[in-house]
Amino acid sequence: MAFDNPRTYTLVSVAAAVATIALKTQAWRLTGSVGLLSDAMESGVNLVAAIGAFWALTLAAKPADHRHHFGHSKAEYFSSGLESALIVVAALAIIHAAAGRLQNPEGLQQVDVGLVLSLVATAINGGVAWLLLRAGRRFDSITLRADAHHLLSDVWTSLGVVLGVALAKLTGWTILDPLIAIIVALNIVVTGWRLLHETASGLLDRALPEAEHRQLEALLEHHKRTDITFHALRTRMAGSRRFVNFHVLVPGHWTVKQGHDFCESLEREIAAALPRTHVFTHLEPIDDEASWQDEGLRWDQT
């Protein structure tokens, strides 16, 4: 399955959330398991997150305008931030529900049917998470990656809950049901924290990943000569878009057209090597060494 628009994948996530909510809610009603109730609660969070992801990708796809000269791609970080926060909220809700059951353990009913329904919902989430991870890499979308990780956390939650409910039924130790739910919830908190950290890094205008930065430096190094060099290299990421800015120093006797054509060639080469990259160059004469050295560190020292 392949779609050309990342927003389409969020609609798949919405449909999966609706289906899993129905399955897990029914599993909880049949069994009375607090673990399965917590699992259904997290699927509700999945639905809210998927709707938020659709909104964020819709906004991020809008072109630049007079108030947003660099586009709206940072909207993706609001979605991933919301999703990471919702993951933590869901985990806390699970712990709260499980703590109550620890104090008042209850027997479980119709466990076999309930576990089958939960496993079907888990399989749906696992398949959609795999699809979203592939799409996230394809479109370089933090929103899709966040949604995928959220669903994966739901998968681990469900498997942990199924294990806890099954063991509680087999051993008669009903306390295992809430204990397993609490352990899985703590693991979900870790996932939410990692997503929140990635979101914060993006909002702070993080530079390109180290591998891409080295690729960019190697490309510029290839074009360096005794009378051509570069400095003041700066990069940043905003959602799936990359921005590269640097100064190009060329011989002072070059015509404006020669310098312009050289910069245009560089920009096209970089854009081809690093997709979704916007390149900005500033042309200077290399003869005026004192002037360009005062403007900033050389590109290989940034």
Q: Write the pLDDT tens digit of every residue in 19-50.
A: 999 998 998 888 888 778 777 877 877 787 78
6-203 — its CATH code?
1.20.1510.10
User: Comparing 148 with 45, which gets the higher pLDDT?
Assistant: 148
Q: Which residues contact 55 (CB under 8 A, 6 or more apart)?
A: 79
User: Which helix (DSSP H) or strand (DSSP E) does residue 284 occupy?
Assistant: strand 277-285
The pLDDT value given to residue 253:
87
pLDDT of 77 higher than 80: no
- Residue spans of the domains in the chain: they are 6-203, 210-301
Which tens digit of pLDDT belongs to each residue from 242-295? 889 899 999 888 989 999 999 999 999 998 888 878 888 988 888 765 555 555
Binned at pLDDT 50, 70 and 90, residue 210 comes out as confident
Q: Is the pLDDT of residue 297 over 50?
A: no
Residues 56-71: tens digit of each pLDDT: 778 777 777 777 766 6
DSSP secondary structure string, 158-182? Answer: HHHHHHHHHHHHHH--TTHHHHHHH
pLDDT digits (tens, 9 = 90+) for 87-146: 788 778 778 777 877 777 666 778 888 889 989 999 999 999 999 988 888 887 777 887
CATH architecture under which domain 210-301 falls: 2-Layer Sandwich (3.30)
Check if the beta carbon of residue 135 is closer than 8 Å to that of residue 9: yes
Work out the mean pLDDT of the chain and round it to a whole number.
80
pLDDT band at 298, cuts 50/70/90?
very low
Quick one: pLDDT at residue 299? 40
Tell which residue, 70, 80, 39, has the closest CA to residue 276: 70
pTM of the model: 0.61
Query: Which residues is 284 bridged to in the sheet?
Result: 249
Q: Count the neighbouring beta carbons within 10 Å of the beta carbon of residue 270.
A: 20
For 15, residues 6+ apart whose C-beta sits below 8 A from its C-beta are none
- How confident is the model over 87-104, as pLDDT tens digits? 788 778 778 777 877 777
